[in-house]
Amino acid sequence: MRHDHLIGANQLSRADIEAVLDRAAEIDADPSAFADAHPDALLGLCFFEPSTRTRMSFDTAIKRLGGDSVDMGTVESSSVKKGESLADTVRVIAGYTDGIVLRHPSEGAATMAAEFVDVPVINAGDGAGQHPTQTLLDLYTIRENAGLDDLTVGVMGDLKYGRTVHSLAAALTTFDARMHFVSPESLRLPRNVRFDLHESGAVVKEHTDLDDVLGELDVLYVTRIQRERFPDENEYREVAGEYRIDADALDAARDDLTVMHPLPRVDEIASNVDETDHAHYFEQAHNGVPVRMALLDSML
């Protein structure tokens, strides 16, 4: 892969994706072989929103490559609190570091940041926009468990605001994948994602009921439906309850169904699913380190 920045999954070709996944597999097999790959690399972590997995896995990844990181810390403890613009913040941090990992609550933040700096910018989530590095580890997990050819994927939950969903949908268009999107009417895919899926010629169906499609799926990707997307608590509880799975619900699924979730989950996947062979979401989270090592290795 040769990109100056990673902003959205739609900029990645199948060859780009496979190159990262292949390298991640090499790293996974022998991490020590990459321990000195980037001894002078310093990565800037700029998280304007809370993060556990993404921040810590990038931090771990750069250190496992022999490099190091500097962390902006929380918004409350930074100059952002004094009213500094994002453009100024990234320009300053670009002067200290060899690359910037950016998470921000506004859509388009990473696109704008990339216009102001000469070091690579990696989008670690921009509002309800994109989260392309999550997609790379999602695809790695799918490839390990179900393969990426002749694939049927169901994506369920908050499809409107879910940035991991938007990036995954874009990336799957480069593979031989049939996509089923399951959500309440009010949380259907946004217009721009549907537009891109249509333009790509992808095989896509939308549903409001998981039962319509569960038995066909190789992969079920579940996302959290957030309370704040609904006008009142009752409506939220009613809708969220319909898009929740437990071990009994998965009786109707194929034995080799892979269940994934970008985490954190609340109760959309019951804990009794954890004990089944379907559960791959913790493995998915673990894959964040080798996949982000592979990505950094290709960009720094």
Active-site amino acid positions:
53-54, 82, 103, 131
Q: Between 60 and 111, whose beta carbon lies closer to other proteins? A: 111
Of 4, 22, 36, 115, which lies in the binding site for other proteins, with binding defined by CB under 8 A? 115
Q: Which stretch binds other proteins (CB under 8 A): 109-117, 135-143, 230-238, 256-264?
A: 109-117
195 is a site residue for other proteins (CB under 8 A): yes
Of 11, 78, 106, 298, which lies in the binding site for other proteins, with binding defined by CB under 8 A? 106
Cβ–Cβ under 8 Å, residues 151 and 219: yes
Query: Shortest distance, CB of residue 130 to other proteins, whole angstroms?
Result: 8
Query: How many residues of this chain interact with other proteins, rule: CB under 8 A?
Result: 19
Q: Between 126 and 297, whose beta carbon lies closer to other proteins? A: 126
Query: Shortest distance, CB of residue 162 to other proteins, whole angstroms?
Result: 14
211 is a site residue for other proteins (CB under 8 A): no
First-residue to last-residue Cα distance in the chain: 11
Order of strands across the sheet that contains 68-71 = 68-71, 42-47, 99-104, 121-126
Measured distance CA(11)–CA(110) in Å, rounded = 13
Measured distance CA(153)–CA(257) in Å, rounded = 10
Residues forming beta bridges with residue 46, ordered by sequence position: 102
Query: Shortest distance, CB of residue 68 to other proteins, whole angstroms?
Result: 29
107 is a site residue for other proteins (CB under 8 A): yes
Query: Shortest distance, CB of residue 59 to other proteins, whole angstroms?
Result: 25
Of 50, 95, 105, 264, which lies in the binding site for other proteins, with binding defined by CB under 8 A? 105
Q: In the stretch 126-165, what mask flags binding to other proteins with x, by CB under 8 A?
A: xxxx------------------------------------
- 139-154 in b/e form (b: 16+ CB < 10 A) is bbbbbbbbebeebbbb
Element (H, E) at 28: helix 14-29
CA count, 13 A, side-chain hemisphere, 76: 1
Provide DSSP, 5-22.
-B--GGG--HHHHHHHHH
79 is a site residue for other proteins (CB under 8 A): no
11 is a site residue for other proteins (CB under 8 A): no
109 is a site residue for other proteins (CB under 8 A): yes
Listed residue (261, 256, 291) closest to 274, CA to CA:
261
Listed residue (235, 283, 245, 247) closest to 263, CA to CA:
283
Listed residue (281, 259, 238) closest to 156, CA to CA:
259
Q: Between 128 and 249, whose beta carbon lies closer to other proteins? A: 128
Q: Between 8 and 184, whose beta carbon lies closer to other proteins? A: 8
**Residues in touch with other proteins (CB under 8 A):** 85-87, 104-109, 111-112, 115, 126-129, 191-192, 195
